[in-house]
Structure 1
Amino acid sequence: MVLADMCKVYRRAFTLGPISLTVVEGVTCLVGPNGAGKSTLFRLAAGVDRPTSGSVRLETDGGQGLGYLPQEPQLPGPATCEEFLHYVAWLQRVPRQRRFEAVELALDQVRLSDRRSSRIRELSGGMRRRLGIAHALVHDPALVLLDEPTVGLDPRQRIGLRQTIGQVGRNRIVLVATHLVEDVRGLADRVIVLNEGAVVYDGDVPGLERLAEPDAAGDTDLERAIAGLMGDSA
């Protein structure tokens, strides 16, 4: 995904950018305070909004566009996992002859093959989040957008979901918006920190930790570095 001098202006009340980035395969965590522009960047990446200037392009050799998991996915409780994914595959225009294979692969990728016949309402919170990721993967997208995927999960569920996301990011672009420092440490191949519509950091976790300020809020170098870039002091 290539962002070239991309800028989005909202009636002069908020401006995102200009931003120039190339996001490659792997897991990129998008971090920033409320109002920093994370949701705006997601909408632009998904093609829901168009930039005021510049461009956003998805440049890959494979994949079928994008998959998106919102923070609060609406899943049909009475349906089984398999039924739901077959419906999503149909919506995403996966050819009939490939749908069974696509559903099986998506279930396997999120470790839900043994729950294919379970009704969604019977799943735990962590399983429902994993099914949401399967919904975003079933049509083999090149870009996957995950908005706060671990919010509301207990520590064990978060660890399991992070493992799933890490596996998904091995062969596609995964962009994760998160407020949780443990997600950044456990997931990110790359971290992009936004503040007031601008990119204030773009790099890996060790590089981010080296920016930690002693008087910034937080208990670890990673927390202090992110807080410092956001302008939060102890």
Structure 2
Amino acid sequence: MRVTAQDLEFGYRRGRRVLDGLSWTVEPGVTGLIGPNGSGKTTLLSLLVTLLPVGDGRLLVGDHDLSTHRGRSGARRALGFVPQRFSLAGELTVADTVAYAAWAHGVGRRECGTAARRALDLVDLTSLSGHRTRTLSGGQRQRVGIAAALAHDPRFLVLDEPTAGLDPGQRLRVREVVARLGRDRTVLVATHLIEDVAHVCSRVGVLAGGRIEFHGTFAQLKRLIAGGSGGSPHGSGFERAYDRLIARIGERA
């Protein structure tokens, strides 16, 4: 499923314009979205998952035009969303949690159990299906959240900071899940962690000044901003070069 923004603009009342003529196409596979705080990532994600109305410009999730009520309704059936912070009912089992998510997204009651088992298999949590969610580790909770978002089998999955706060081993497991999901879905990962982009994203977009200022592979981004900076692309040299790129973009805005 392709996701397309064309000349997208958005501003809050009595505030500055957050998105300023943003145009971007997200293709199937895993795409990363990075940018500094205040760049508009949260606003863009909120528009994509229909939490905010589309004003000026166009935003399409597949063939669903999010500027229309019919388009937003259709998009909700086609997308799954895992916010950065979410809660789980500690008394529910993992399987019941995901089955409930399936039902909430319109899956028939008789099919919810099958949908939950399929989603848990996708995130490697079948063995924990009978456990109470309160007993899970942080990484396991994150994968339950992803399973819940997958319960209705969406073609477009949006993940907001999916590895934030996890230890290295947990981050690795979540990245493995995300990479696997991108084989037959469109997955958008908003993150501050360059390692996430480097390891799981086939493409990356840099959002700054309300626009996508770069779209390409991580290798292309590395060549653009780390050339001559020295050091590893995962180390401080790369991060300083990235900061300089963002500063240059800000000066042009």
Common fold by TM > 0.5: yes
Q: Cα distance, 1:175 vs. partner?
A: 0.8
1:78 aligns to what SS in structure 2? coil
Q: Cα distance, 1:12 vs. partner?
A: 4.8
Q: 1:52 aligns to what? A: 55
Name the CA distance, whole Å, in 2 between partners of 1:120 and 1:214.
46
**Residues paired across the two proteins, number:** 232
CA contact (8 A) 1:189 1:204 kept: yes
Q: Cα distance, 1:219 vs. partner?
A: 5.0
Q: 2:175 aligns to what? A: 162
1:44 aligns to what SS in structure 2? helix
Q: Which deviates more, 109-118 or 97-106?
A: 97-106
Q: Is 1:98 aligned to 2:136, yes or no?
A: no
* Cα deviation 1:35-58 (Å, max 9, x = unaligned): 001001001111111233111111
CA contact (8 A) 2:102 2:151 kept: yes
Name the CA distance, whole Å, in 2 between partners of 1:49 and 1:114.
37
Name the CA distance, whole Å, in 2 between partners of 1:45 and 1:82.
28
Q: Percent identity?
A: 41
Name the CA distance, whole Å, in 2 between partners of 1:134 and 1:60.
25
Q: 1:84 aligns to what? A: 97
Q: 2:9 aligns to what? A: 7
Q: 1:227 aligns to what? A: 243
- 1:80-159 equivalences under 5 Å are 80-159=93-172
Q: Which deviates more, 188-197 or 219-228?
A: 219-228
Name the CA distance, whole Å, in 1 between partners of 2:10 and 2:214.
19
Q: Over aligned residues, Cα RMSD in angstroms?
A: 2.2
Q: Which amino acid aligns with 1:118?
A: H
Q: Cα distance, 1:70 vs. partner?
A: 0.9
1:93 aligns to what SS in structure 2? coil
Structure 1 unaligned spans of 5+: none
Q: Cα distance, 1:97 vs. partner?
A: 3.5
Q: Cα distance, 1:174 vs. partner?
A: 0.8
Name the CA distance, whole Å, in 1 between partners of 2:58 and 2:230.
36
CA contact (8 A) 1:162 1:183 kept: yes
TM-score (norm 2): 0.85
Name the CA distance, whole Å, in 1 between partners of 2:51 and 2:229.
36
Name the CA distance, whole Å, in 1 between partners of 2:238 and 2:122.
30
Q: Which deviates more, 149-158 or 217-226?
A: 217-226
Q: Which deviates more, 160-169 or 218-227?
A: 218-227
Structure in which a larger fraction of residues adopt helix: 2
Name the CA distance, whole Å, in 1 between partners of 2:227 and 2:184.
38
* Cα deviation 1:73-119 (Å, max 9, x = unaligned): 11111110011111111111102332222111100000000000000
Name the CA distance, whole Å, in 1 between partners of 2:230 and 2:243.
6
Q: 1:38 aligns to what? A: 41
CA contact (8 A) 2:24 2:212 kept: no
CA gap of 1:40–1:29, structure 2 versus 1, over 3 A, is: same
Q: 2:193 aligns to what? A: 180
Q: 1:18 aligns to what? A: 21
Structure 2 unaligned spans of 5+: 65-73, 249-253
| Ranges of 4+ aligned residues in structure 1 off by more than 4 Å | 60-63, 213-219
* Cα deviation 1:150-186 (Å, max 9, x = unaligned): 0000001101100001111111111111001111101
